[in-house]
Amino acid sequence: MARPLHVYVHVPFCARKCPYCHFYNLGHDDGREAVWLDGLAREIALHREAEAFDGARLATLYWGGGTPSLLGPEAFERAADLLLGIAPRSHRLEWTLELNPGDATRDRLRVWRDRGVNRISVGAQSFDAARLEFLGRTHGPETAREAVCAVADAGFEEVSLDLIFDLEVPGVSPAWRRRTWARDLAIAFSLPITHLSLYGLTIESGTAFDARARAGERLTASDAAYAAEYHATCRAARRAGFEHYEVSSFAKPGHRARHNAAYWTGAPYLGLGPAAHSFDGVRRWANVSSLTCWAEALATGGDPRAFVELLTPLQRELETLYLGLRRVEGIESDHVLLGGPAEAVARALVREGMLVERDARLACTERGFLLLDGMLERIADAASASFDKVPGRP
């Protein structure tokens, strides 16, 4: 049987840098677009030479960024030709394209749909003018709503929405924050979406928000507000008939994101484009975060990667544990890392209501999802200390 191929493509262009964003991107123009397309063709050829596509079937294709919806029609067609040509397509190919709400024109949507894109991820982030302004977004609340409706009207089967919570908008009260978040959720679930991706605002190093936070400005709310907004989202999703299937993801039954699921289940994936990450089952690597350096390396027979990391057996097991506990399915109760002192930690987490055990699997409760990072740290500390002594260790 053909091996499933999961491909991520980084389109590194944005109209403007959002103050919280740490992804690699730069301004869009025709010259840069041509450099990116040239590099993409060379990178695909390089992987073809290495027989990376032999015996594979394209199962998921994800165009992220950056802002893929900024690509001009010719660049979109050329990139689509290149990417769809790498391997035969699965009859259930999931092809996602990230959309900035302001780019949702009828013509663009028709071209994408006719070409085979079947999943659109709308970067709305909020439906409130003050929240959007705080986030430095270029669109307003109405544009965000209209974009979701335009995507659904254009006939896309899968419509995903991004929302960001835990914002400390200057000069507003906690009551205002609660009210506007509740309104964001009410609007989101009243729209024709099939999937919601939830992001807690994180202050990433090197961003404009990072500089403001270092200067003493408070940009995220309290732990209590974070928890209240997270739980409010879970309740609203349940009421709307969405499954909470991953720590930050909610979907109508049958509409889970298959590309993201590949990441969370430890499947190999290939990243193309500057700053794109890849994983082949034992090695992880990332391309350089520079369009020019990435394209030059590919044009001159150099290596476009910034690093390659061979995972140790412990890292591989920890990754299975991390990724498994992000998902509602959890991990097997007899996972190799739970064979030593970490077993006592896992039992304690069950008693504390963070984990639940059913059908010989351990999975997070809603509270566990909320406190996932701290919980993983506790398990990982105990497991790493005893890894060499764990019976049955690979």
Q: Which residues bind ligand SF4 (CB under 6 A)?
A: 14, 17-18, 21, 23, 25, 65-67, 100, 123
Nearer to ligand SF4, 275 or 355 (CB): 275
- State which residue has the least CB distance to ligand SF4: 21
14 versus 187: smaller Cβ distance to ligand SF4:
14
Closer CB to ligand SF4, residue 23 or residue 322?
23
Question: Which CB sits closer to ligand SF4, 24 or 156?
Answer: 24
Region of 392 please: left (phi>0), alpha (psi -120 to 50) or beta: left
Question: Please, what is the minimum distance in Å from the beta carbon of residue 10 to ligand SF4?
Answer: 10
Q: Please, which residue, 17 or 378, has the CB nearer to ligand SF4?
A: 17
d(CA 374, CA 226): 15
Specify the residue, 19 or 339, whose C-beta has the smaller distance to ligand SF4. Answer: 19
Give the nearest distance from C-beta 65 to ligand SF4 in angstroms: 5
Tell me which residue of 224, 225, 204 sits closest to 213, measured CA to CA.
204
Angle among Cα 131, 137, 142 to the nearest 5 degrees reads 70
- In the chain, DSSP assigns E strands to 3-11, 56-65, 89-99, 119-125, 158-165, 195-200, 243-246, 249-251, 270-272, 277-279, 283-287, 305-310, 331-332, 355-358, 361-364
The distance of closest approach from Cβ of residue 13 to ligand SF4 in the complex, given in angstroms and rounded to an integer, is 8
CB of 289 to ligand SF4, least distance (A): 13
Q: If you compute the radius of gyration of the chain from its CA atoms, what whole number of angstroms results?
A: 22
Closest approach, Cβ 25 to ligand SF4, in A, equals: 5
CB 23 within 8 A of CB 77: no
Question: Cβ of 375: how many Cβ atoms within 10 Å?
Answer: 21
Question: Which residues have C-beta within 8 Å of that of residue 298, sequence separation ≥ 6?
Answer: 39, 42, 43, 46, 304
**Residues in contact with 292: Cβ distance below 8 Å, sequence separation at least 6, in sequence order:** 35
In whole angstroms, the minimum distance from the beta carbon of 299 to ligand SF4 comes to 26
The sign of the torsion formed by the CA atoms of 165, 166, 172, 177 equals positive
CB of 208 to ligand SF4, least distance (A): 10
Of 25 and 60, the one with the shorter C-beta distance to ligand SF4 is 25
Report, in Å, the least distance between residue 207 CB and ligand SF4: 9
In the DSSP assignment, the letter for residue 134 is H
- Cβ contacts of residue 380 below 8 Å, gap of 6+? 318, 321, 322
CA distances from 385 to 200, 231, 338 (A): 31, 34, 12
Closest CB to ligand SF4 among residues 13, 112? 13
CB of 12 to ligand SF4, least distance (A): 9
Shorter beta-carbon distance to ligand SF4: residue 161 or 354:
161
Q: Are strands 243-246 and 249-251 parallel, antiparallel or unpaired?
A: antiparallel
Looking up tokens 């406190």, which residue turns up? Answer: 371
Cβ at position 97, least distance to ligand SF4 in Å: 13
What is the DSSP annotation of 160-178?
EEEEEE-B--TT--HHHHH
- Return the number of the residue (99 or 364) whose C-beta is nearest ligand SF4: 99
What is the Cα–Cα distance from 332 to 347, expressed in whole angstroms? 14
DSSP H helical ranges for 3-123 = 30-49, 73-84, 106-115
